[in-house]
């Protein structure tokens, strides 16, 4: 037996030898206190995975905003140019014209 099992055996033997008390009712206010704690409505703390995923999402958003900010001039040049492809961007017309 390991030390924990020996200690448990000793405690169980002492509990069997303890004198039996006459009053086995709960102390005054115990049930009210237990009911109040049960209906307290405490939310459980989020798991480690949930906290980590929120942090990773925040970092990903920051990186996306930084990427757009760094490449803003290239994006503006591409979208601001008035080329024939962007002016007549009609996919149905392009598909119909391919056949002829």
d(CA 90, CA 87): 9
pLDDT tens string 86-98: 556 777 777 777 6
- CA quadruple 50, 54, 56, 60: dihedral positive or negative? positive
Please indicate, yes or no, if residue 71 is contained in any of the structural domains. yes
Please indicate, yes or no, if residue 74 is contained in any of the structural domains. yes
pLDDT tens string 2-36: 777 888 888 888 888 887 776 777 788 888 888 88
d(CA 66, CA 31): 57
Please indicate, yes or no, if residue 45 is contained in any of the structural domains. no
The number of domains in the chain is 1
For residue 54, give both structure tokens: 């929120």
Domain that holds residue 58: 51-82
d(CA 88, CA 85): 6
Please indicate, yes or no, if residue 56 is contained in any of the structural domains. yes
């Amino acid at each position: 037996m390991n030390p924990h099992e020996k200690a448990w055996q000793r405690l169980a033997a002492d509990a069997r030898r303890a004198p039996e008390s006459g009053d086995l009712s709960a102390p005054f206010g115990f049930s009210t206190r237990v009911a109040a704690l049960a209906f307290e409505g405490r939310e459980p703390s989020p798991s480690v995975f949930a906290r980590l995923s929120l942090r990773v999402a925040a970092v990903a958003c920051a990186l996306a905003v930084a990427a757009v900010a760094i490449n803003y001039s290239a994006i503006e040049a591409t979208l601001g140019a008035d080329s024939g492809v962007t002016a007549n961007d009609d996919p149905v017309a392009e598909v119909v014209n391919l056949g002829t």
